[in-house]
Chains A and B, each alone.
With several copies, the nearest count.
Chain A
């Protein structure tokens, strides 16, 4: 049986970028994978990501997404650690 693969783009910002070392990476996953499976894969590759404190959210195609979201080829994914834009106040 052939396993078809999809490729997603992972964009890395702030603390994530410093851990991963680049501002984006492309990851291949079996078709039908969920966001959760991608997260586990990245946790394996970059163990420091597991040490992030606060509630890290995730986005798929620039919208907040839940871990059971099924990914498609070309999707843009990002880790969203707690945001702190705006005022220093």
Chain B
């Protein structure tokens, strides 16, 4: 399950999509819109994606993961459009027979997604707005 959606994200469908009878562990990651970025008060975020390429790149990440760890299944869904504080921008779930593989692969997936998947974020503050690249984030 690799998708870009304008609908609210929820973990349960991803967890159900990745669970196999061989799975002993499911690790998930949820990216959430924070109230503050770099000291500025966020009103909302707007995400835009190059959808077709983003899904290709997500598939590339799942291939990388399968080359590194023994996992059962990987799901990644990124939301686009306007997101309020507290809403999830990305949801990832990885199942594996054993917990270390599931946890390591999940952490790897979000790192790689942030590096190379063509999705962009505009921060809209109380006093302005800007499309944000990672170079300007305190924590990438």
Please report A residues at the B interface, Cβ cutoff 8 Å: 11, 13-15, 17-18, 53-55, 59, 62-64, 78, 80-89
The prevalent SS among residues of A at the interface is loop
Assess whether A82 is in contact with B133, with CB atoms less than 8 Å apart: yes
Checking B29, B30, B89 against A85 with a beta-carbon cut-off of 8 angstroms, the contacting residue is B89
The prevalent SS among residues of B at the interface is mixed
Please report B residues at the A interface, Cβ cutoff 8 Å: 24-25, 29-34, 37, 45, 47-50, 52-54, 56, 78, 89-90, 96-99, 102, 110, 113-122, 131-137, 139
Q: How far is the CB of B85 from chain A (nearest CB, A)?
A: 9
**Cβ–Cβ < 8 Å partners of B96 in chain A:** 89
5 pairs of A and B residues whose beta carbons are closest in the complex = A87-B31, A85-B119, A82-B133, A89-B24, A14-B120
